[in-house]
Amino acid sequence: MSSLLAGDDGDSDRRVALPRVLQICLLQISTAIAFVLINSILNRVMIVELKIDAWLVGMVIGVHNLLAFVRPIIGHYSDTHLFFGYRRTPNILAGNLITVSGLILFVYGAVMLPQNFTTGIAVCFTASLLYGLGVNMTGTLYFSLLADSAGEKHKAKAASIGWFVMMVGLIASSGFISKYLEVFSEAKLIQLFWIGAAVSVGTTWLALLGTEKRFAEVAVQTKKPEEQLPLRTAMKHLVANTTVYRFFMFMFVTVIAIQGQDVILEPFGAHIFGLSVAQTAQLTQTWGVGTMIGIVALGLFAVNRLGKKRTIYIGCLASAAAFIVICVSPMFNTDVFKAGVFMLGLGNGALTVGTLTLMMDMTTEKNTGLFMGLWGMAQAMANFLANTIGGGIRDISLALTGNQYYGYTAAFSIEVIGLLAAMVILRTIEVQEFKRKTAEDLTAVTAD
């Protein structure tokens, strides 16, 4: 394992030891903490305890994705500029501080809602935008840093390690939160967010301590001014590339299909099975364990044999089956529901490995940050729609039928259709065609 990321065939200048990759992946713990606090705890509290409409909660939480436009901008900027000899590190640190500021403001806005709804919602929207700016900055540059560090033959393993670490963070965070909130109160909720913010900042600094210096000195040199392609020019030519457009749409549809459950899965457990806040927090653990198994089984051992596309197909089909199990679970018992959540994790693990490694393949050496930003923008925009659509479909169906079960299953059924559509789009994408066409386009523009 110590040679896990040692490069071959021209990749030796990017040789990075496993401990260094694990250090970079500590950034995923920070991401996991923020995800659990917002998507597993605050969404459930706002919908169930505070009785806010699911569509509004989905919009408030999802609006942070509207800041996705900064992803290609910050990615391109970090490709072409050094700050005190570093490319990714300063921007990640700034993004993390903005993220935790949004987290803290978010929880204060939420607890303000019962007394002053208008002010509380305004504070929550502001917090979501702050959170979104930070998350979009750090997310883009984390994947750029990981792509910088891994050779071509080891991207799948590097991505798998990163998501494995994130799942460990999700499971650990969910376990701590479920114990901490066994007796729920607004005061404990606020304390929890302050603890999460402190741990997030600490893990981010540990992840970046001495990490990028090696790359700046050895492999990642800033391009000469005449080689730097303006962002607007690069984007214009990329949009005209049909493979870029198809992959953007694939990412977009996949994320909507798999993430549409984010704001409604825990409320489903509360409304249909009567689960408490602590019990619904444990659903993230169940999902996380399934995801970890999917990542390890496919990412570390099978993806290179199966291929990235087959891995994604497996993930789509497993996730679709999981949604069906969740839909029929009220006919049985809570254990069947939890089994569906576990299956959803398995499918997500396969999708994560396949999609992330394919995403890192869909880059060029001199424009890694730009492409990771572009694909990240597709994910973030889709996340916004997923959160809003998932909650919206639930609310509309509930209003039409007066039945909580029909409201939730309508949303889950739409996600099954989305997963099947993503598989159809994926069949049209060829990585080598993308690399050839993109290299030709960007080289021609640079030469001009």
1 belongs to a structural domain? no
Helix (H, G, I), strand (E, B) or coil at 83: strand
Assigned token pair, 287: 């999902």
Report yes or no: 44 and 264 within 8 Å, Cβ to Cβ. no
Q: Mean pLDDT of successive 10-residue segments in the chain (448 residues)?
A: 39 54 79 83 80 79 77 72 72 88 91 88 91 84 70 63 76 79 81 90 84 51 47 58 77 81 78 78 80 75 73 89 90 88 88 76 64 69 72 75 79 88 86 66 53
139 belongs to a structural domain? yes
What is the pLDDT, as a whole number, of residue 324? 92
159 belongs to a structural domain? yes
Length of the chain: 448
Helix (H, G, I), strand (E, B) or coil at 185: coil
Cα–chain center distance at 176: 21
Q: Which long-range contacts (CB under 8 A, 24 or more apart) does 273-279 make?
A: 273/330, 273/334, 273/337, 275/334, 276/184, 277/41, 277/44, 277/45, 277/48, 277/49, 277/181, 277/184, 278/177, 278/178, 278/179, 278/181, 278/182, 278/184, 279/178
Number of domains in the chain: 1
2 belongs to a structural domain? no
352 belongs to a structural domain? yes
Tell me the pLDDT tens digit for each residue of 289-313. 888 888 777 766 666 677 778 888 8
Range of the domain at 188: 21-447
10 belongs to a structural domain? no
What is the pLDDT, as a whole number, of residue 254? 85
13 belongs to a structural domain? no
Looking at residue 234, which CATH number applies to its domain?
A: 1.20.1250.20
What is the pLDDT, as a whole number, of residue 55? 75
Q: Which residues of 340-373 are buried (b: 16+ CB within 10 A; e: fewer)?
A: bbbbbbbbbbbbbbbbbbbbbbbbeebbbbbbbb
Q: Indicate the residue type of 377.
A: M
Tell me the pLDDT tens digit for each residue of 391-444. 777 777 777 777 778 878 888 888 899 899 989 988 887 767 666 666 665 555
Give the Å distances, CA to CA, from 229 to 141, 364, 376. Answer: 19, 13, 20
11 belongs to a structural domain? no
